[in-house]
Structure 1
Amino acid sequence: MREGKKIEFNSKYPSIEDLRKKARTRVPKFAMEYLDGGCNEDINLHKNTSKIREVELSPYYLSKHTASIMKTELFGHTYDAPFGIAPVGLQGLMWPKAPEILAKAAFDHNIPFILSTVTTTSIERAAEITEGNAWFQLYHPTEDRLRDDIIKRAEAARCPVLVILCDVPTFGFRPRDIRNGLAMPPKMSLNNILQILKRPQWAAETLINGQPNFETLKPYMPKNLDLRQLGKFMDETFSGRLNEEKIKPIRDMWKGKLVLKGVANEADAEKAVRLGLDGIIVSNHGGRQLDAGESSIKPLTRIAEKYGDQITVMMDSGLRSGPDIARTLAKGAEFTFMGRSFMYGVSALGKKGGDHTISLLKTQLQQVMEQVCCENVKDFPNHLIK
């Protein structure tokens, strides 16, 4: 079992909101809005967090309490904390080398890191940084040949967990991204160029490290694509709509742990169990896909109660703090993931952002555990005020 890094964080930024505010001063507006925004009117984006924070915990002050242990076993690996880094697309757009920074921090702190198909480092590079411990999230390709090749690369890179995504059957309607030219195909407007000039450190880092690209997809992309051709390539190459018939051959091919991300109701959870999947991540894509949907904490509660003894139930979307992690575990999740929180950290503090954010969340969660007299993360449901 690996021992994670010592917990230390910059006291100038003792909350995720502090990191978010700092990030806004360092990242061009179009990139920050891509990270920060939901879809349509952002209703589900805000509801995700607000509904989590309606969950209340009961402290048992007079109980015999010896220690609070955050270590959590998941898929045969004991992690140092019950949270990990969720997959985020185009991470290098927000801050150069962001996925590499976060992969290294996750490995050093012994928590899971999930690499997105459409982020800005490759499967092989993430595997190198994490010594074969990075998880990989697959956007489903339209061609079986491409699907099989990407899965074989993940297997060769020794990824222990393959995550398949089911909540992007179509791209979310995101007004900010449309205004900023970040729809498909993307375009760079004069306004975006002016925003870059106002963020000289971001511009310098991007110049040094190069324009962000879909590194995992490079072997399959024609060379020298212009922006319009890139949009056409993405549309033709990927079909986000999953069904049971598309999942079955992946289950047959993948010998490691297989997780379905984007589950939002009991019916899909039941299908995941029936298909022999190892885990599900209850998620609404951070409120970026369906503004009229439920906040993720609501279906989590029902799914964990009904299927928690048959499949590993995890959650992302809306978590922003150690108390949020505690609340989500109390409602039945075995593990949690966050995307934006870690991207705020890297955008605010660069190379130190990953370490800082993980240390901050560990510190906050430890305080909650000790305050409510919870000795093990599996005991959080015993502290839930129903």
Structure 2
Amino acid sequence: MSNNKWIINNAYPSVTDLRNKAKRKIPKFAFEYLDGGCNEDVNLIKNTTDIRAIELLPSYLSKHQGSTMQTELFGHTYDAPFGIAPVGLQGLMWPNAPEILAKAAFEHNIPFILSTVTTSSIERISEITEGKAWFQLYHPAENKLRDDIINRAAAAACPVLVILCDVPTFGFRPRDIRNGLAMPPKMSLSNILQILGKPEWAYKTLVHGQPNFETLKPYMPKNLDLKQLGKFMDQTFSGRLNEEKIKPIRDMWKGKLVLKGVATEMDAEKAIRLGLDGIIVSNHGGRQLDAGESTIRPLTRIAAKYGDQIKVMMDSGLRSGPDIARTMASGAAFTFLGRSFMYGVAALGSKGGDHTISLLKTELQQVMEQLCCEEVADFPNHLNTL
């Protein structure tokens, strides 16, 4: 594992720069799938806006001995208090994206979470990360398939299994519907013209092959057309979780078990009662319920009430080192970012993962030094509560 100094490309010193570059480099349908929320994007915008309303207080005259971002989580000491959130269809945004990000996460000693519905397999990502990647399970409709996927994650030495509770239905996403990326998807003339206008993306896609649900390949009939694929996905997965569905997973999984998509104190309490090790407060990046709360609001309440009983983490809305600091100050034990890393890979290809992690580490280190905050556990002491 390398201890490379954080080297960033000075042409892209912010996630906004990476987003702008990504928008220019990939087809419109792929960018809008990555960038968009649901309905009118109210919660997508609110996620980041509400995080950025939080203020931090520096302690300039304290006897500061230096700052470290190292964070212990589930028995492993990570080099920073953030990881890479699971994102579906990553290879659609940039060919080989999950492998690029998993490799960068491993080299920087931060967690990478592989989605069930992304474009690399559990086994391949485990190989790249030497068994350190987490796996996020979309709940299958059949117990046999559930058990087989969980056994594969265990065989791949995944230390943490993440189960998803915030997709009981597909979000209503107008852009994806217009672009034919709803299930079943379709490739329109407009989409083909968009591809022709992005020759680097088209060439790399040709080299790596059309993106597929690699983890699900063993269970899929061969040579499905797009309509059949949509039907297969609908029949294979039941996103609606409840306590009765979680209990057998807890009994079966010997590693750490995390529930992602928690948005209320009630669900946090159930997770504790079921013996889970952690929760990720999340609203799926604002992609599921436009009328819901932003993530930082329930995070603050849940961390205050249950933070001493279960690891309370958060994703959705974080875009920068200061955002990570604000979230940690609000009580999060750890944070995850999804879009930011995908912007990085779409913008800079194979160098995008390393650049984005380095950028976030650099920003977060600066915030810590500025606050005179020596450890991430001290962030709540710098929260402006007035």
Considering the TM-score relative to the shorter chain, is it more than 0.5? yes
1:100 aligns with 2:99: yes
Amino acid at match of 1:261: K
RMSD: 0.6
Structure 2 Cα separation of the partners of residues 10 and 266 of structure 1: 41
- Tell me, what secondary structure is at the counterpart of 2:331? coil
1:81 aligns with 2:80: yes
Q: State the shift of 1:373 in Å.
A: 0.4
Who is 2:368 aligned against?
369
Who is 1:233 aligned against?
232
- Tell me, what secondary structure is at the counterpart of 1:25? helix
Q: State the shift of 1:32 in Å.
A: 0.1
Who is 1:357 aligned against?
356
For 1:92-131, list aligned pairs within 5 A.
Answer: 92-131=91-130
Who is 2:305 aligned against?
306
Who is 1:292 aligned against?
291
Q: State the shift of 1:3 in Å.
A: 6.3
Structure 2 Cα separation of the partners of residues 278 and 4 of structure 1: 29
Q: Deviations over 1:222-281 (max 9, x none)?
A: 000000000000000000000000000000000000000000000000000000000000
Q: Deviations over 1:129-166 (max 9, x none)?
A: 00000000000000000000000000000000000000
Amino acid at match of 1:254: W
- Tell me, what secondary structure is at the counterpart of 1:101? helix
Q: Deviations over 1:44-72 (max 9, x none)?
A: 00000000000000001000001100000
Structure 2 Cα separation of the partners of residues 127 and 154 of structure 1: 9
Q: State the shift of 1:20 in Å.
A: 0.3
**5+ long unaligned stretches in structure 1:** none
Q: State the shift of 1:5 in Å.
A: 3.0
Structure 2 Cα separation of the partners of residues 157 and 371 of structure 1: 41
Amino acid at match of 1:77: H
- Tell me, what secondary structure is at the counterpart of 2:166? coil
For 1:1-386, list aligned pairs within 5 A.
Answer: 4-386=3-385
Q: Deviations over 1:86-115 (max 9, x none)?
A: 000000000000000000000000000000
- Tell me, what secondary structure is at the counterpart of 1:268? helix
| Matched-pair contact (CA < 8 Å) for 1:83–1:337 | yes
TM-score (normalizing by structure 2): 0.99
Structure 1 Cα separation of the partners of residues 97 and 217 of structure 2: 18
Structure 2 Cα separation of the partners of residues 329 and 24 of structure 1: 30
| Matched-pair contact (CA < 8 Å) for 1:88–1:115 | yes
| Matched-pair contact (CA < 8 Å) for 1:44–1:287 | yes
Amino acid at match of 1:97: N
Amino acid at match of 1:131: E
| Matched-pair contact (CA < 8 Å) for 1:104–1:129 | yes
Structure 1 Cα separation of the partners of residues 4 and 123 of structure 2: 23
Structure 2 Cα separation of the partners of residues 220 and 280 of structure 1: 29
Q: Give aligned pairs, total.
A: 385
Structure 1 Cα separation of the partners of residues 296 and 238 of structure 2: 27
Structure 2 Cα separation of the partners of residues 93 and 43 of structure 1: 25
Amino acid at match of 2:254: K
**5+ long unaligned stretches in structure 2:** none
- Tell me, what secondary structure is at the counterpart of 2:25? coil
TM-score (normalizing by structure 1): 0.99
Amino acid at match of 1:104: K
Structure 2 Cα separation of the partners of residues 188 and 226 of structure 1: 12
| Matched-pair contact (CA < 8 Å) for 1:3–1:80 | no
Q: State the shift of 1:192 in Å.
A: 0.1
Structure 1 Cα separation of the partners of residues 132 and 186 of structure 2: 35
Structure 2 Cα separation of the partners of residues 252 and 67 of structure 1: 43
Structure 1 Cα separation of the partners of residues 83 and 282 of structure 2: 14
- Tell me, what secondary structure is at the counterpart of 1:162? strand
Q: State the shift of 1:4 in Å.
A: 3.9
Structure 2 Cα separation of the partners of residues 133 and 225 of structure 1: 33
Structure 2 Cα separation of the partners of residues 262 and 6 of structure 1: 34
Amino acid at match of 1:70: M
Amino acid at match of 2:131: G
What is the percent sequence identity of the aligned residues? 82
- Tell me, what secondary structure is at the counterpart of 1:141? coil
